[in-house]
Amino acid sequence: MNLKNLKDQVIVITGASSGIGLVTARMAAESGAKVVAAARNEEALKELVKELQEKGHTAMMVKADVGIEEDVKKIAEAALKEFGRFDTWVNNAGVTIYGYAMDVSIEDMKRMFDTNYWGVVYGSKEAVKHFKGRGVPGALINVGSLFGDRGTLIQSTYAPSKFAVHAWTESLRMELENENVPISVTLIHPGRIDTPYNEHATSYLDEQPIHKGMIYPPEAVAEAILYAAEHPKRDMFIGSQAKAIKLIGANFPRLTDKLMERFMPPTQYDPNRPSNLREEGNLYHAGYGMHERGTNIGWKRSSSMYVKASKHSALFKLAGVGLGILAWTAIRRSR
């Protein structure tokens, strides 16, 4: 399957007003792609499009809530009206809740699924319908999470929404392949990424949600997304931590339970900062826009070597061997 070069593409990006989506939109535009930026924050989108156009890039905006099917249809219609097509659709928009499973309300859980799962379903359907109608190869890229491969504590209601995204993506990929439909379906598996994700979160905690530990830049996710837009890829893992958690969790589930029960909770909040108010989260309304990074604490990586290795088969195999050795060493030490 041959996908177009980015400079010849029209690319739709949801959740483009901040974080991963914002960085991806900027990097796509710098590569020459025509950008269709979608999000709930209209003012941020206007600022983004103005910024890109002033640099000589081609971009347009669509105010949309991906949790509403009609809004997602509006994104596709706007792209077709302006450019006559789109070549890559990126389902990136997402929200999260920090709180223990029994504390989070069913209403909040359902709203999170509207965005994280149903938004991906709506976007996937629009993309597949368009690519099928054109009869030419296109790329559908869904942004999952390391917590879509392995459950966790505190974000215990967020993880199921990403599990659903992973299962949807795999199932859809198989159906399209079985029908010989030329669509590249890629699942992105980000590790901990330094975005305003924590500041936008709806929090049931007393302490402010954050990422602690090894944290990857949003540019690493954007790099993976844009690579998949040009090269058919099944999965792209952002950071060895994302791949390692998947491998260890699948092969040593009880060990992983114990390790996560002990070490995961304190890495998700800052005991020195009171939490934002619950209603300040972006679950039901747009969060602030035009910020690429958040207020996270830890080793902030400048890139992901795993992403770079996955773009080159020999390096990718070497990285896989290295992860296997690390996993085996961890298992031996735990005995």
* Residues catalogued as catalytic: 158
Give Cα separations from 32 to 11, 44, 139 (angstroms).
10, 21, 17
Which residues share a beta bridge with 142? 91, 187
Alpha helices, DSSP H only, in the chain?
19-30, 42-54, 69-83, 106-113, 119-134, 158-178, 197-200, 218-230, 240-251, 253-263, 305-310, 313-334
Burial environment of residue 279 by CB neighbours within 10 A (0 to 12, 13 to 18, 19 or more): exposed
Residue 119 tokens, joined: 């938004």
Residue 227 tokens, joined: 């690579």
Residue 329 tokens, joined: 């060493």
Spatial separation of the C-alpha atoms in residues 68 and 85, rounded to whole Å: 22
Residue whose entry in the numeric block shows the structure tokens 């770079």: 308
Give Cα separations from 67 to 15, 113, 180 (angstroms).
11, 8, 30
Spatial separation of the C-alpha atoms in residues 335 and 317, rounded to whole Å: 28
3-state secondary structure of 300: strand
Print burial letters for 157-188: b (CB count within 10 Å at least 16), e (below 16). bbbbbbbbbbebbeebbeebeeeeebbbbbbb
Residue 28 tokens, joined: 């796509």
Spatial separation of the C-alpha atoms in residues 94 and 131, rounded to whole Å: 24
Hey, CA dihedral for 174, 117, 95, 183, is it positive or negative?
A: positive
